[in-house]
Amino acid sequence: MKPRMTFLQIAALLFGFAFLYTPIGLLILYSFNASRLVTVWGGFSTRWYAALLANEQMLSAASASLRVALVSAGLATILGVAAAVCLARFGAFAGRTLFSSMIFAPLVLPEVVIGLSLLLTFVALGIPRGFWTIVVAHATMGMCFVAVVVRAKLTGLDRSLEEAAMDLGAPPLATFLRVTLPLASPAVFAGFLLAFTLSLDDFVLASFTSGPGSTTLPMRIYSQVRLGVTPEVNAISTLMIGFVAAGLAIFAVVSLIAKRRRTSAGRSYPS
């Protein structure tokens, strides 16, 4: 019998949710405000979404952020999965501790330090700053989070399935692609979404590694907020929230489908 939550536990839970989501709710609400003053409610209106569609600078920054996030998240996922496999499947090898420390170091280093070091590297190598330098910076940060998520999943997988595949003649690469990767696919997808969200939200690394014509959406929003919050900023922020929420919903559906498939497979092959 499950224990019931006490009044204090329920109150603490409601307070926590209110503390986290009340500012987001107000931002979404005031994105539909007819008044130009963001703190004065002037009635329901979608005029600022229409104004946002006419703001070429904001749309260009949003397009740049989406392109950077997609490319960097894909690159971070590939590198993060490779690093996770090395740590979870290769056992003890020379330099494992150093390799692990280098993978997880960006998680604890301030983003200012990482951004400055990448900036100095690009300048020393004579690489012009722009779209691809931002991609490299975001992939460097994102791969660490992907490696953490995927490594935890690989550590908990039943290795007897991989061993059975290799016993039946499957080479290591085929075993990884047909057995290990499908089983770890929820973690891989979660790592991709995490890297994508971090890239879409990043301001510090982008400000160090961006160049002319590669302004991201957080940089554009910050430059406008310095002059005062406008309803268009509320509108684009609401669209970003909706975009991320849609990604999380897709992840939940994919995870649910994968769980049902594993359950049905287990029922089809009873021990």
Local confidence pLDDT in tens for the 271 residues of the chain? 556 778 788 888 899 989 988 988 888 888 888 887 777 787 888 888 888 888 888 888 888 898 999 999 999 999 999 999 888 877 777 777 888 888 888 888 888 999 999 999 999 999 998 899 999 999 999 999 999 999 988 888 877 888 888 888 888 888 888 888 888 888 898 899 889 989 988 889 999 998 887 888 888 888 877 766 677 888 888 888 888 788 778 878 877 877 777 676 555 545 4
CATH number for the 56-268 domain, one of 3.40.367.20, 1.10.3720.10, 3.40.630.30, 3.10.20.30? 1.10.3720.10
DSSP H or E stretch at residue 61: helix 56-89
Q: What pLDDT score was predicted for residue 239?
A: 86
CA dihedral 176, 179, 184, 185 (to 10 degrees): 100
Neighbour-count burial of 169, counting CB atoms closer than 10 A to its CB (0-12 exposed, 13-18 middle, 19+ buried) = exposed
Q: What pLDDT score was predicted for residue 117?
A: 92
Q: Which has the closest alpha carbon to 144: 90, 205, 228, 94? A: 205
Cα 85 to Cα 106, 146, 181: the distances in Å are: 19, 11, 10
Q: What pLDDT score was predicted for residue 178?
A: 84
**pTM recorded for the entire structure:** 0.80
For 149, other C-beta atoms within 10 Å of its C-beta total 23
Q: What pLDDT score was predicted for residue 271?
A: 47
